[in-house]
Amino acid sequence: MSEKIKMTTPLVELDGDEMTRVIWQWIKELLIEPHIELNTEYFDLGLKERERTKDQITIDAANAIKKYGVGVKCATITPNAERMKEYDLSEMYKSPNGTIRALLDGTVFRAPITVGGVSPYIPTWKKPITIARHAYGDIYKNTEMLIGNEMSGATVELVATSPSGKEERMLIHDFVYASAPSGIVQGIHNTDASIESFAHACMQYALDTKQDLWFGAKDTISKTYERRFRDIFDEVFGRQYKSDFAAAGIEYFYSLIDDVVARVIRSQGGFIWACRNYDGDVMSDMVATAFGSLAMMTSVLVSPDGYWEFEAAHGTVQRHYYQHLEGKSTSTNSVATLFAWTGALNKRGELDSNQELCNFAKKLEAATIATIEDGIMTGDLYVLSNLENKTKVDTRAFLQEIAKRLAD
């Protein structure tokens, strides 16, 4: 065997929980360590270690990504009441993804991995559609009120008070006591800073992946709030990205959100769709399902300061893990987790001008796709694939099949 590929800068490795933790070890053992002298700064974000460190490990991992620039993350459990019992937790820790995203101020890009034999539900879609969700503000940080009972017939206003005491008021609605006294109201906000960093992340990612960027809002109806998003995107684009986009042969395209939705369905794919917080929440599930399987969806966190974190979009696949613990065979799809590794190794290679590392990442991706297109796949794809000769294999056998093709 030829000499292993060397890495000059460590990759930040964030281990996780359950079935994806098992897969994580096997990917390293079977596909990465035989070929690379793996240099990682390892953080165990498994729930036990988060409990032991009172979640400090998550913060340390995020800071390491800030230091080195690139991380790869395994899926992790976000604790709920059942997990508190199962893991005897002293606190209901926040989602590690939320903590890391807040520390890196990042935007999450989700893209499907497409393979022959698994056709998207939309026949015109030929290339992946990447969704970028603005994960700050709007209804996710709202204040809302039920107007009824003692507040029936209330007059509801927006009130802003400046630090110097200046006040601005606007009527939201006068609930008319006689005819329509009750109802609902909500206040939402966003900040210019957050919208700007979202715009930067989207435009940088578009340049990085050489894909057009689409954005939609409802600025005809919401002439101040929604309009602000459009204006900030325009400003950031004009100020910093216009000539780079032209040089890269890509476009920034704005339209009304309903028009964008219609165009997405008619499109061939192959672009980035920047979505407002709610739109991204809803549309990412639609796009993921329409492309086939959640297990084929990758997720990249990109910060405006140039930090990158790669992961699978799915969770820890708990049901399969319990089968695995009982010694039963599982057929868990490792593709998204594997592509998190190749994405991270490729980015590390790019930043370090380590062409060998980039080439290896591409080769491993190609071997993975070839395995599935040869008809060897896990159960989730087996039910979707329209290949005539197909075989369902278990979790580890699938990785071994990739290893064979990688060695060729």
Residues 154-193 that bind ligand NAP (CB under 6 A): none
Q: Judged by CB under 6 A, which of 62, 317, 357, 387 binds ligand NAP? A: 317
Question: Residue 48, interface with ligand NAP (CB under 6 A)?
Answer: no
CA–CA distance, 124 with 127 (Å, rounded to integer):
9
295 contact, one of ligand NAP, Mg ion, none, CB 5-8 Å limit per kind: ligand NAP
Question: Residue 314, interface with ligand NAP (CB under 6 A)?
Answer: yes
Amino acid at 110: R
Question: Residue 333, interface with ligand NAP (CB under 6 A)?
Answer: yes
281 contact, one of Mg ion, ligand NAP, none, CB 5-8 Å limit per kind: Mg ion
Q: Tell me how far the alpha carbon of residue 328 is from its chain's centroid.
A: 31
SS (H, E, C) 53-93: CCCHHHHHHHHHHHHHCEEEECCCCCCCHHHHHHCCCCCCC
Instruction: For residue 110, list its beta bridge partners.
Output: 131, 299
Question: Residue 35, interface with ligand NAP (CB under 6 A)?
Answer: no
DSSP tag of 93: P
Question: Residue 323, interface with ligand NAP (CB under 6 A)?
Answer: no
77 contact, one of Mg ion, ligand NAP, none, CB 5-8 Å limit per kind: ligand NAP
| Nearer to ligand NAP among residue 199 and residue 399 (C-beta) | 399
Question: Residue 76, interface with ligand NAP (CB under 6 A)?
Answer: yes
- Enter the tokens of residue 207: 């340049």
Question: Residue 300, interface with ligand NAP (CB under 6 A)?
Answer: no
CA–CA distance, 176 with 406 (Å, rounded to integer):
71
Residue nearest to ligand NAP (CB): 315
| Nearer to ligand NAP among residue 380 and residue 401 (C-beta) | 380
CA–CA distance, 143 with 9 (Å, rounded to integer):
45
316 contact, one of ligand NAP, Mg ion, none, CB 5-8 Å limit per kind: ligand NAP
CA–CA distance, 307 with 67 (Å, rounded to integer):
9
319 contact, one of Mg ion, ligand NAP, none, CB 5-8 Å limit per kind: ligand NAP
Question: Residue 294, interface with ligand NAP (CB under 6 A)?
Answer: yes
Element (H, E) at 214: strand 212-217
Question: Residue 61, interface with ligand NAP (CB under 6 A)?
Answer: no
Question: Residue 100, interface with ligand NAP (CB under 6 A)?
Answer: no
Q: Judged by CB under 6 A, which of 332, 342, 368, 385 binds ligand NAP? A: 332
CA–CA distance, 341 with 335 (Å, rounded to integer):
10
| Nearer to Mg ion among residue 168 and residue 285 (C-beta) | 285
Count of all residues that appear for the chain in the document: 408
Binding residues (CB under 5 A) for Mg ion: these are 281, 285
Question: Residue 319, interface with ligand NAP (CB under 6 A)?
Answer: yes
- Find the radius of gyration of the CA atoms of the chain: 24
CA–CA distance, 252 with 245 (Å, rounded to integer):
8
List CB contacts of 385: < 8 A, sequence separation 6 or more: 117, 118, 372, 375, 377
Which residues contact ligand NAP by CB under 6 A? 75-78, 97, 294-295, 311, 314-319, 332-333, 380
